[in-house]
Chain A
Amino acid sequence: MTWGFLCDLLSGVNKYSTGIGRIWVAVVLIFRLLVYIVAAENIWKYEHDEFECNIRQPGCENVCFDHFFPVSHIRLWALQLIMVSTSSLLVTFHVVYRENREKRHNQKLYKSPGEIDGGLLCTYLISLVLKAGFEIVFLVLFYKLYNGFQVPHLVICDIRPCPNTVDCYISKPTEKTIFLYFLVASSCLCAVLNVSELSYLVCKCSVQRCLKRNIKKCQ
Chain B
Amino acid sequence: MDWGALHTILGGVNKHSTSIGKIWLTVLFIFRIMILVVAAERVWGDEQDDFICNTLQPGCKNVCYDHFFPISHIRLWALQLIFVSTPALLVAMHVAYRRHEKKRQFRKGDQKCEYKDIEEIRRQRFRIEGSLWWTYTSSIFFRLVFEAVFMYAFYFMYDGFRMPRLMKCNAWPCPNTVDCFVSRPTEKTVFTIFMIAVSSICILLNVAELCYLLTKFFLRRSKKGGNAKHHPNHENKEETKQNEMNELISDSCQNTVIGFSS
What is the interface of chain A, defined by CB distance below 8 A to chain B? Answer: 3-4, 6-7, 19, 22-23, 26, 29-31, 33-35, 37-39, 42-43, 46, 50, 52-55, 153-154, 167-175, 178-179
Contact flags (1/0) for B61-89 with A, using CB distance below 8 Å? 11101100111101100110010001001
- Offer 9 A-B interface pairs, CB within 8 angstroms, sorted by A: A29-B1, A31-B82, A38-B2, A38-B78, A39-B74, A42-B74, A167-B59, A168-B59, A175-B66
Residue of B nearest to A5 (CB): B1
Report chain A residues within 8 Å CB of B79.
Answer: 35, 39
**B62 to chain A: which residues have CB within 8 Å?**
50, 52, 153, 169-171
Q: How many angstroms between the C-alpha atoms of A26 and B78 in the bound complex?
A: 17
Say which residue of B49, B75, B86 sits within 8 Å of A39 (CB atoms). B75
Q: In the complex, which residues of chain B have a beta carbon less than 8 angstroms from the beta carbon of A7?
A: 1, 5
Closest chain A CB from B175 CB (angstroms): 12
Minimum distance in angstroms from B92 CB to a CB of chain A: 9
Q: Size class of B's contact patch? A: 20 to 34
List of B residues within 8 angstroms of A170 by Cβ: 62
Contact A30 B58 (CB under 8 A): no
Binding site for A on B (CB under 8 A): 1-3, 5-6, 9, 48-49, 57-59, 61-63, 65-66, 69-72, 74-75, 78-79, 82, 86, 89, 93, 96-97, 173
A13–chain B nearest beta-carbon distance, Å: 14
Contacting residue for B48 out of A35, A50, A153, A173, CB 8 A: A50
Query: Is there an interface contact between B82 and A35, defined as CB atoms closer than 8 Å?
Result: yes
Complex CA distance for A168 and B62, rounded to whole angstroms: 10
- Shortest beta-carbon distance from B182 to chain A in Å: 15
- 7 A-B pairs besides A37-B1, A170-B62, A174-B66 with CB distance below 8 A are A38-B3, A52-B58, A52-B61, A54-B59, A169-B63, A171-B66, A175-B72
Q: Are B93 and A175 in contact (CB under 8 A)?
A: no
Chain A residue numbers with a CB within 8 Å of B71 are 174-175, 178
User: Do B75 and A154 touch (CB < 8 A)?
Assistant: no
Q: Which residues of A contact B66 (CB under 8 A)?
A: 153, 171-175
Q: How far is the CB of B21 from chain A (nearest CB, A)?
A: 19
CA distance A34 to B96 in the complex (A): 22
Task: Say yes or no: A34 contacts B72, CB within 8 Å.
Answer: no
